[in-house]
């Protein structure tokens, strides 16, 4: 009897050694960062994990991608697809991938101790602000944009003031006429344009009308951009979602998970009313995605929340700085290696995974492949606020309009100076200089010579009248 037991044990050992000696076929799925193709080579977390396990257990292997690009689910006919199906059909010896351990999978394959623990969460595009504030009216524009608007406002007021002084049509006789476009009125006039209300008097000269028209165009386009972005900012503030209950209680943001995946099955089989509502919404809207990459893409586009394993979502947040993950994690689960039922490899693989975990190798692999590319970026940056470079064309248009207005005002004054110089047979430059002095000099200084001359003439008349009386 003892001889028979020893013989059976030896036969079993030989079978295990034979299994270990052959080249193992390992199936995986292309999913960043678990398995990725780089030229003719493959890399990723699972590829490094396979390499470490092979060093400990001494087996050789070849890696193949799953043919139907699925993890593994049972169809209506009771047949399994994906990596689980390849294990069941004997097309692969192991499935090393982010395979979630589920009860239904444990019925058809053996799974090792988990190498990653995770749970369900969701990601979505970051809001432009963390919530409403007293300064939400300023949120559509960034700080440098507001600074640019202020500079444009002051420059336009100054330009309108200069045009009003230079243009003869606006101010024909500086000694007699009052100057309508003072600096204060110029500021009031362009403020009325920003409020889409006129503030008279309006410019009469072509140069003044050009400046006024270009500022009105700038104001209308600027207000259009402001209100359009303000609506977007308010919309993002009202969709502040931080939990699955928040997600279920709104209809603005769409959401979905991978079709026929373990996440979908969790919501389908859950008795929790919140999770049931989430599943019914996804069924009604057919908002499922075919892969995690598609879920990441739709989340980046906005107005979509992708539900998946938190560990995969953490990768998306590390790669795409516009995404954020909800803090809530439900349905704790884990990833394991799958093998055929009764496979002698499962025990050895479990021990090897535990050794890697105790040695800190699994943590090292996690840090290696989940390294964030968003280090050094400002998490609170208002990405949706319009920047000054977004509307640089509008500012360039305003600057060009102001330059044209000033040039036209100078040409108007030059034309008048040439006419006066020709009539008075004087130099055009001297007449132009005199005109500029009259318009920008002190009126008191201009009128003072006339006043002194009048007083002198009056004095002379008094002297003459005094002599006659004598």
Q: Is 105 annotated as a binding residue?
A: yes
Q: Is 263 annotated as a binding residue?
A: yes
Res 2: pLDDT: 46
SS3 state of residue 76: coil
Q: Is residue 26 part of a domain?
A: yes
Q: Is residue 94 part of a domain?
A: yes
Average pLDDT for 139-152: 86
**pLDDT, mean over the chain:** 80
* pLDDT over 50 at 275, yes or no: yes
Work out the number of other CB atoms within 10 angstroms of the CB of residue 354.
14
Q: Is 366 annotated as a binding residue?
A: no
Q: Is residue 14 part of a domain?
A: yes
Q: Is 100 annotated as a binding residue?
A: yes
What is the CATH number for 33?
3.40.190.10
Res 453: pLDDT: 45
Q: Is residue 73 part of a domain?
A: yes
Q: Is residue 224 part of a domain?
A: no
Res 263: pLDDT: 87
* pLDDT over 50 at 236, yes or no: yes
Q: Is residue 342 part of a domain?
A: yes
Average pLDDT for 2-18: 42
* pLDDT over 50 at 403, yes or no: yes
Res 6: pLDDT: 39
8 vs 172 pLDDT, higher one:
172
Q: Which domain covers residue 85, as residue numbers?
A: 2-117+335-363
In sequence order, which residues have a C-beta less than 8 Å from that of residue 394 and are 6 or more positions away?
218, 221, 222, 225
Res 357: pLDDT: 94
Q: Is residue 70 part of a domain?
A: yes
State the maximum Cα–Cα separation within the chain, in Å, rounded to a whole number: 170
Do residues 398 and 346 touch, judged by C-beta distance below 8 A? Answer: no
> How many domains does the chain divide into?
1
Average pLDDT for 352-370: 93
Q: Which of these, 119, 122, 120, 99, lies nearest to 28 by C-alpha position?
A: 99
Q: Is 443 annotated as a binding residue?
A: no
pTM above threshold 0.85: no
Res 127: pLDDT: 67
pLDDT classification of 345: cutoffs 50, 70, 90 = very high
Res 379: pLDDT: 43
Res 179: pLDDT: 66
Q: Is residue 185 part of a domain?
A: no
Rg (CA), the chain: 40
Percentage of the chain surpassing pLDDT 70? 80
231 vs 443 pLDDT, higher one:
231
Which tens digits make up the pLDDT trace of 159-195? Answer: 988 888 888 777 767 666 666 677 888 888 888 888 7
Q: Is 174 annotated as a binding residue?
A: no
């Amino acid at each position: 009897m003892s001889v028979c037991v020893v013989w059976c044990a030896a036969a079993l050992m030989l079978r295990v050694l034979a299994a270990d000696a052959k080249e193992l076929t390992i199936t995986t799925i292309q999913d960043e960062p678990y398995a990725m193709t780089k030229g003719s080579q493959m890399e990723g977390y699972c590829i490094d994990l396979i390499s470490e396990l092979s060093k400990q257990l001494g087996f050789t292997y070849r890696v193949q991608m799953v043919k139907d690009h699925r993890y593994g689910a049972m169809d209506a006919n009771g047949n399994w697809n994906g990596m689980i199906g390849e294990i069941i059909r004997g097309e692969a010896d192991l499935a090393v991938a982010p395979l979630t351990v589920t009860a239904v999978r444990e019925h058809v394959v053996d799974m090792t101790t988990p190498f990653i623990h995770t749970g369900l969460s969701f990601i979505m595009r970051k809001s432009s602000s963390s919530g409403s504030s007293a300064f939400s009216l300023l949120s559509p524009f960034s700080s440098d944009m507001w600074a640019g608007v202020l500079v444009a406002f002051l420059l336009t007021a100054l330009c309108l003031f200069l045009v009003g002084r230079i243009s003869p049509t606006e101010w024909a006789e500086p000694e007699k006429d009052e100057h309508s476009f003072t600096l204060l009125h110029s500021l009031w006039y362009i403020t009325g344009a920003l409020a889409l209300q006129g503030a008279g008097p309006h410019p009469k000269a072509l140069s003044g009308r050009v400046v006024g028209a270009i500022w009105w165009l700038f104001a209308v386009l600027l207000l259009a951009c402001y209100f359009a972005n303000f609506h977007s900012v308010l919309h993002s503030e009202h969709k502040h979602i931080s939990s699955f209950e928040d997600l279920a209680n709104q209809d603005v943001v769409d959401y979905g998970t991978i079709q026929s995946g373990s996440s979908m099955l969790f919501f389908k089989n859950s008795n929790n009313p919140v999770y049931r509502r989430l599943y019914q919404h996804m069924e009604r809207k057919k908002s499922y995605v075919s892969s995690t990459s598609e879920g990441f893409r739709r989340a980046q586009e906005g107005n979509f929340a992708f539900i998946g394993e938190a560990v995969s979502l953490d990768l998306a947040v590390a790669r795409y700085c516009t995404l954020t993950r909800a803090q809530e994690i439900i349905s704790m689960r884990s990833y394991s290696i799958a093998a055929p039922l009764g496979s002698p490899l499962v025990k050895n693989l479990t021990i090897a995974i535990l050794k890697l975990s105790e040695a800190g190798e699994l943590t090292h692999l996690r840090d290696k492949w989940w390294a964030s590319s968003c280090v050094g970026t400002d998490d609170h940056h208002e990405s949706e606020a319009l920047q000054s470079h977004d509307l640089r064309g509008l500012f360039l248009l305003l600057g060009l309009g102001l330059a044209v207005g000033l040039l036209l005002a100078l040409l108007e004054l030059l034309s008048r100076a040439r006419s006066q110089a020709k009539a008075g047979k004087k130099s055009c430059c001297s007449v132009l200089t005199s005109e500029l002095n009259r318009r920008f000099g002190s009126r008191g200084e201009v009128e003072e010579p006339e006043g002194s001359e009048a007083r002198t003439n009056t004095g002379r008349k008094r002297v003459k009248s005094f002599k006659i009386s004598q």
